């Protein structure tokens, strides 16, 4: 079974956790642009140096940079039969690029799963993650800014996918296992 799925939702909604579990359940790779950027920051690559400035400020990395990175990743063999995108697309220019990449291969997104969670809950989760993971973009100011950027630039994308009939909203609050089941039952 092929699955081409986008996971969308505010920072702290649990996209990364669910992406890993869904990847296992569906047998397709979870592709997280945030993870790819963090690996590049850690490896001190040119891409990492460029991305770090934006990430630390809670801003989006420029579209051209992000788009070409995703185009390369989706061209790899393991993504041929499906993938789960975690954290991409986040802007309308990224939606356009993804459309272009898929159309060129006669492929299409099947589901866009929006994980919903209220702001107080996601701020609390991100502050807790700051304690355990020490991510440099998890300070309270940067967290609030990331949520604003999400609301302005990414939340509107749900309307695009709703109008295409692809949007499935799933409550991101509750037990991790239950949320995975909710997602699997909406996409099956
Ligand atoms: P995440 O782990 O998904 O929260 O991403 C961490 C950071 O990486 C974001 O705050 C952005 O700075 C950057 N990033 C991740 N994905 C994207 C994207 N699709 N477009 C632009 N920047 C991104």
13 belongs to an annotated ligand binding site: yes
In short, whether 13's Cβ falls inside 6 Å of ligand 1 is no
Q: Which atom, in ligand 1's list, is nearest to the CA of 62?
A: 21
Confidence at residue 45, expressed as pLDDT on a 0 to 100 scale:
98
Instruction: State the pTM of this model.
Output: 0.95
Give the integer Cα–Cα distance in Å for 131 and 159. 34
Question: What is the average per-residue pLDDT within 78-106?
Answer: 97
135 belongs to the catalytic site: yes
125 belongs to the catalytic site: no
The token pair at 87 is 């954290």
Q: 132-168: per-residue pLDDT in tens?
A: 887 888 888 999 999 999 999 999 999 999 999 999 9
CB 94 within 8 A of CB 68: no
52 belongs to the catalytic site: no
Give the integer Cα–Cα distance in Å for 75 and 147. 31
150 belongs to an annotated ligand binding site: no
CA nearest 116: which of 86, 89, 155, 90? 155
CB-based contacts of 74, cutoff 8 Å, min separation 6: 31, 83, 101
- Domains (range + CATH), the chain: 3-187 (3.40.50.300)
Residue 1 predicted with pLDDT over 60? no
Ligand 1 pocket mutation pick from 55, 89, 123, 141 by most atoms within 8 angstroms of CB = 55
Catalytic residue among 135, 144, 162, 168: 135
């Amino acid at each position: 079974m092929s699955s081409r799925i986008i996971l969308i939702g505010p920072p702290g909604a649990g996209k990364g956790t669910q992406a890993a579990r869904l990847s296992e359940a569906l047998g397709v790779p979870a592709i997280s642009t945030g993870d790819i950027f963090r690996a590049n920051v850690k490896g001190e690559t040119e891409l990492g140096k460029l991305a770090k400035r934006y990430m630390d400020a809670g801003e989006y990395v420029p579209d051209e940079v992000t788009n070409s990175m995703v185009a390369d990743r989706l061209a790899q063999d393991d993504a041929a039969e499906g993938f789960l995108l975690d954290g991409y697309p986040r802007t309308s220019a990224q939606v356009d690029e993804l459309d272009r990449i898929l159309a060129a291969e006669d492929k299409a997104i099947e589901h866009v799963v929006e994980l919903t969670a209220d702001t107080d809950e996601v701020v609390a989760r991100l502050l807790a993650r700051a304690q355990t993971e020490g991510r440099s973009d998890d300070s309270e100011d940067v967290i609030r800014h990331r949520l604003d950027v999400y609301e302005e630039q990414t939340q509107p994308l749900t309307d695009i996918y709703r109008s295409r009939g692809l949007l499935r909203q799933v409550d991101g609050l509750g037990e991790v296992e239950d949320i995975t089941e909710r997602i699997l039952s909406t996409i099956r």
